[in-house]
Chain A
Amino acid sequence: MSSREEVYTRHGGKGGDRGKILTEMMNAEGKAEVLDDILVLDVSCANFAGIICASFLAEFGAEVIKIEPPEGDAARQITPFGVTVQGVGIPFMFEGRNKRYMTLDIKNSDEDRKTFAALAKKAAVVIESFAPGEMDGWGIGYRQLSQVNPGLIYIALSAYGQYTDKAREAARAPDTDITSQAGSGLPAQMGAPAEDREPFSWPLRGGMWVGWYISGLSAALGGTVALLHRQNTGEGQMVDVAGMDAYSSMVGMPATIGFTWEKARPRIGVLDFILYPYGHWKCKDGFVAIAAPRDHDFRALLKILGLWEQEDDWRYSSDRIPDILEQALHLHRIIEEKTLQFTADELVRMALNYSRKSARSKWRGGGVPIVMKLMTPEEAMTNKQWHIRKAFQEVEDEKLGKYTISANFVKMSESPPRVKWVASEIGKDNDYIRKKYLSD
């Protein structure tokens, strides 16, 4: 492998065995699991942020019990175009990682609430997404559970959170991905400029679950901080995630820009507020992404595309930022005229050749102009890089058959996350769980 590598970092130089050593080192097989002594109860309902958070903990080895009513969590039917396999939706199958399934009707049955409380006594983490205060009203909220189990970490997911007057007023508002995206500010930043025709000029939703994945990730991160504190002190705590915070709190920009600029940014289409060139362009046979934002990267790009005569006008990044939209679009079209003359592969090759030469040069400042062929998710699955890294995994559900998932988000040398099995069957582990946790 190493002799044919595209080595063009300016410092890494030699390539060699490091890749092989790492491939070995990052193999997950037979390695320890971080959370093998942690019991997690996920009673979230119709809320994938909760399910996603539970998945991350399960991938790191926790025993995760998905608790749902006898008819199953409504999340099972949240699925693109209504596509299911034997009644199970695609996202539910995708997130059905290393989990146990138990049925309890905690919404309606006193008996089942007691069973839940008995389980929660032994659990390290509870995840729920009922209306704020609802679990508390049933006597199984953080307030009550923490009396019996002071080490409990209680993760609550909702639209507006568990405290403040607003949370009280809007307690009945359910949390979904699209309302989380809208309420936390993503669509305001995406789409064509206001002058464009409708509906292109409208704020645009992210075409994936940006809201729910950010909430789920935030919950898992907050929950793991809490687990560390519990490991040190034995104390538990409550973790409160609000969908209306998701995007804005994770990227931080809306709050600060709204304050320093005293207004909202307009939508600027395919351009970027800070960097240029930093986006995608049409080429002969599709699209390429180009990132050459720093001045030396930009100079390199001009050379590659045969546009050196433009250098004078656009030399500094401050010349290129799209604060005057028309001007930036002008440059955009100049570049497009060139990219249209080549195929994606040709453009990638041209950038690589340049970068390789500049990496070998003793002169600094050659720039790293990056050109990449744009991939759809389906095309991404065929990339050899991910094959070697085992980024995709074919899994088999006993009932639902084989399917492919993107596996773990990270590689770790000692205690990596992993997908051991997938399952989705309602109540599948009722007996196992009762025997293991409720027989005393």
Chain B
Amino acid sequence: MEDYFSYTAKLFNLDDASQKPEALKGIRVMDFSHVIFGPVAARLLADYGAEVIKLELPFYGDLWRPATYWGKYWKHSNPIWHNITKNKYFLSVNLALRQSKELIYKMAETSDVVIENFAPGTADAWQIGYEKISKINPNIIFLSCSTYGQFGPMRYFPGWDLLAQGASGVLTLNGYPDTDVFYKLPDYVGDFVPGNFAALAVLMALYYRKKTGKGQYIDMAQTEGLMRTLFHYTYYSITGEAIGRTGNTDPTMMPASIFKAADGKYLALACATAGQFKKFASAIGRQELASDPRFADTIERLKPENAKTLTEIVTEWVKSKPGVEIVRLADEAGFPAAEVADDFTIANDEWRRKRGSVVLFKDDVYGNLVIAGPSAQLSGTPSRTKWLARPLGYHNRVVLKKFLGLSENEIKDLEKKKVIGTFDDRPGLKPPVYYNLDEDPIYNYGKEVSS
């Protein structure tokens, strides 16, 4: 029999990925969403082959376009925005104007999914909410994303990732016990996790529609998404006590902490089971720990007084060895350990590139950019990157001509009325300076291009 890893190497070969079928081919998504939460849900659909048309306000665009880390732009674009909105068609149309409605309603006829995350009530006030769109297309799958949901007394409250972390309790959990030092989860996890939940809900709705022909309305509250990931509520309902903050130690396994190695590297080391603990004990030459009545049994090991003693033992041992050596030992012996990876190691680790979880992508407009690959690799219908984010209004002509059958004159008229538009001079909205849009056949779709 062929070796397992050469079999899987072929099964997942990245070079074949672009030739493989796309699971969501033929699905059209109207994406009214902005910032991160909604856009990520839509992008996940685009990654698997859906045709996602993102509608943004002319000359302003999505408010996240200019929002880059420490204000650092990359080729006049927001580098992290590429991951949030790649693979989409960028149409810039003012949703609030009466004249836009005709375009949107027409697009709704052939769309399968609509996604929005305005403050609840906004889409309805603009006559582009579920009530209106489902009259035009009864089989539509309409996803509304918000912080607290579309009904309930808090429904009209606007919000961001931070508020969802604050309202679910997540924010108070990250930090040290007996102090009031704690932190929000970084990098807008409170948008990305709910965004993935939202995409999962849409996929389920697509599955259901294929079986029954029926569309539906989806109400995704980001706080509820986060709440689904906390067993803390159950712990409280059973014990009457809170888990609270436990610093760098995970109270569900033992050992399970972030430690500092001899060379100053930080690493996580854990033993989830008695078996793993046995392997750990013999790997560090302390077999007796595995038969110590305080530690042999998993539940005993987890009890706070025993856990404290054991954590001290492990802390001392980790201090005596460099990080790489510990991780190598762990991989050999079969207990979990990993160095704390940072931006730089993640961007440059060779294995991540080979796996496709970090991708050096060559884009027609922006050139080479390293972006994250999917968090699940599919052998048959893989997620893929086809293009990065585009300047505001980049696909106006493609969408309006190809998908909606408008003529060049009609488009010019819409431009004059500022129903549609493009970018102004702000970074995040405009193309790189070196890039000549006049020669770009996609931007000028259906016009004569001089190249």
Closest residue of chain A to B346 (Cβ to Cβ) is A254
Residues of A within 8 A of B344 (CB): 258, 262-264
Q: Residue A143 at the B interface, CB < 8 A?
A: yes
Asked whether, in the complex, the Cβ of A168 is within 8 Å of the Cβ of B5, the reply is yes
Q: A208-B229, A240-B379, A274-B67 are in contact. Are A261 and B204 (CB under 8 A)?
A: no
Asked whether, in the complex, the Cβ of A181 is within 8 Å of the Cβ of B243, the reply is no
Q: Residue A116 at the B interface, CB < 8 A?
A: no
Q: Residue B318 at the A interface, CB < 8 A?
A: no
Q: Residue A291 at the B interface, CB < 8 A?
A: yes
A186 to B375, CA, bound (A): 14
Q: How far apart are B264's CB and chain A's nearest CB, in angstroms? A: 11
As a 0/1 sequence over residues 222 to 239 of chain A, the CB contacts with chain B under 8 angstroms (1 = contact) are 111111110111011111
Q: How far apart are B437's CB and chain A's nearest CB, in angstroms? A: 23
Asked whether, in the complex, the Cβ of A257 is within 8 Å of the Cβ of B24, the reply is no
Find A258's partner among B4, B12, B243, B343 (CB 8 Å cutoff): B343
Residues of B within 8 A of A375 (CB): 166-169, 172
Q: Residue A94 at the B interface, CB < 8 A?
A: yes
Q: Residue A93 at the B interface, CB < 8 A?
A: yes
Find A280's partner among B155, B166, B227, B245 (CB 8 Å cutoff): B166
Interface-forming stretch among B233-241, B401-409, B412-420? B233-241
A372 to B161, CA, bound (A): 13
Find B376's partner among A6, A222, A232 (CB 8 Å cutoff): A222
Q: A240-B377, A256-B372, A377-B232 are in contact. Are A229 and B183 (CB under 8 A)?
A: no
Find B207's partner among A169, A227, A265, A294 (CB 8 Å cutoff): A227
Closest residue of chain A to B368 (Cβ to Cβ) is A259
By secondary structure, the A interface counts as: mixed
Residues of B within 8 A of A272 (CB): 184
Closest residue of chain B to A227 (Cβ to Cβ) is B207
As a 0/1 sequence over residues 349 to 379 of chain B, the CB contacts with chain A under 8 angstroms (1 = contact) are 0111011011000000000011111111111
Asked whether, in the complex, the Cβ of B343 is within 8 Å of the Cβ of A188, the reply is yes
Q: How far apart are B231's CB and chain A's nearest CB, in angstroms? A: 4
Interface-forming stretch among B51-59, B98-106, B252-260, B441-449? B252-260
In chain B, positions 107-163 with a C-beta closer than 8 Å to chain A are 118-122, 124-126, 148-160, 162-163
Q: Residue A392 at the B interface, CB < 8 A?
A: yes
Q: Residue A282 at the B interface, CB < 8 A?
A: yes
As a 0/1 sequence over residues 319 to 330 of chain B, the CB contacts with chain A under 8 angstroms (1 = contact) are 000000000001
Q: Residue B74 at the A interface, CB < 8 A?
A: yes
A210 to B187, CA, bound (A): 12
As a 0/1 sequence over residues 13 to 24 of chain B, the CB contacts with chain A under 8 angstroms (1 = contact) are 000000001011
Residues of B within 8 A of A164 (CB): 9, 351, 354-355
Residues of B within 8 A of A323 (CB): 70-71
Find A74's partner among B180, B250, B275 (CB 8 Å cutoff): B275
Q: A182-B267, A410-B198 are in contact. Are A257 and B69 (CB under 8 A)?
A: yes
Question: Chain B, interface size: which category?
Answer: 35 or more
A404 to B237, CA, bound (A): 6
In chain B, positions 162-190 with a C-beta closer than 8 Å to chain A are 162-163, 165-176, 180-189
Q: A13-B121, A94-B231, A245-B352 are in contact. Are A207 and B173 (CB under 8 A)?
A: yes
Q: Residue B201 at the A interface, CB < 8 A?
A: yes
In chain A, positions 133-180 with a C-beta closer than 8 Å to chain B are 133, 136-137, 141, 143, 159-170, 172-180
As a 0/1 sequence over residues 392 to 417 of chain A, the CB contacts with chain B under 8 angstroms (1 = contact) are 10100000000111111111111101
Q: Residue A436 at the B interface, CB < 8 A?
A: no
Q: A74-B272, A410-B218 are in contact. Are A380 and B380 (CB under 8 A)?
A: no
A202 to B265, CA, bound (A): 10
Q: What 3 pairs between A and B have smallest CB-CB spacing?
A: A12-B121, A258-B347, A237-B380
Q: Residue B304 at the A interface, CB < 8 A?
A: yes
Residues of B within 8 A of A166 (CB): 350-351, 354-355
Asked whether, in the complex, the Cβ of B253 is within 8 Å of the Cβ of A178, the reply is yes
Closest residue of chain B to A219 (Cβ to Cβ) is B376
Asked whether, in the complex, the Cβ of B372 is within 8 Å of the Cβ of A249, the reply is yes
Asked whether, in the complex, the Cβ of B341 is within 8 Å of the Cβ of A256, the reply is no
Q: How far apart are A440's CB and chain B's nearest CB, in angstroms? A: 26
Residues of B within 8 A of A235 (CB): 380
Residues of B within 8 A of A210 (CB): 185, 189, 229
Asked whether, in the complex, the Cβ of B248 is within 8 Å of the Cβ of A273, the reply is no
Q: How far apart are B438's CB and chain A's nearest CB, in angstroms? A: 27
Q: Residue A18 at the B interface, CB < 8 A?
A: yes
Q: A375-B169, A404-B237, A412-B218 are in contact. Are A11 and B121 (CB under 8 A)?
A: yes
Q: A9-B122, A240-B12, A260-B74 are in contact. Are A222 and B374 (CB under 8 A)?
A: yes
CB contacts between A and B, total, < 8 Å: 653
A95 to B417, CA, bound (A): 54
A399 to B54, CA, bound (A): 50
Interface-forming stretch among B285-293, B332-340, B392-400? B332-340
Q: Residue B79 at the A interface, CB < 8 A?
A: yes
Residues of A within 8 A of B70 (CB): 273-274, 321-323
Asked whether, in the complex, the Cβ of B234 is within 8 Å of the Cβ of A90, the reply is yes
In chain A, positions 306-341 with a C-beta closer than 8 Å to chain B are 317-318, 321-323
Looking at B243, B266, B340, B344, which has the most chain A CB atoms within 10 Å of its CB? B340
Asked whether, in the complex, the Cβ of B205 is within 8 Å of the Cβ of A200, the reply is no
Asked whether, in the complex, the Cβ of A252 is within 8 Å of the Cβ of B207, the reply is no
Asked whether, in the complex, the Cβ of B196 is within 8 Å of the Cβ of A81, the reply is no
Known contacts A167-B5, A177-B250, A200-B176; can you find 17 more A-B pairs with CB under 8 A?
A: A163-B9, A167-B351, A174-B335, A177-B270, A204-B247, A205-B249, A205-B268, A217-B196, A224-B200, A224-B204, A240-B8, A255-B352, A255-B370, A278-B160, A287-B172, A388-B151, A410-B201
Find A12's partner among B119, B239, B253, B350 (CB 8 Å cutoff): B119
In chain B, positions 259-284 with a C-beta closer than 8 Å to chain A are 260, 266-270, 272-276
A236 to B21, CA, bound (A): 12
Find B83's partner among A227, A239, A253, A407 (CB 8 Å cutoff): A253
Find A183's partner among B125, B339, B380 (CB 8 Å cutoff): B339
Asked whether, in the complex, the Cβ of A178 is within 8 Å of the Cβ of B376, the reply is no
A47 to B198, CA, bound (A): 24
Residues of B within 8 A of A262 (CB): 344
Asked whether, in the complex, the Cβ of A388 is within 8 Å of the Cβ of B153, the reply is yes
Residues of A within 8 A of B380 (CB): 226, 229, 235-238
Residues of B within 8 A of A231 (CB): 207, 210-211
Interface-forming stretch among A19-27, A98-106, A427-435? A19-27
Residues of A within 8 A of B307 (CB): 81
Find B343's partner among A185, A203, A228, A381 (CB 8 Å cutoff): A185
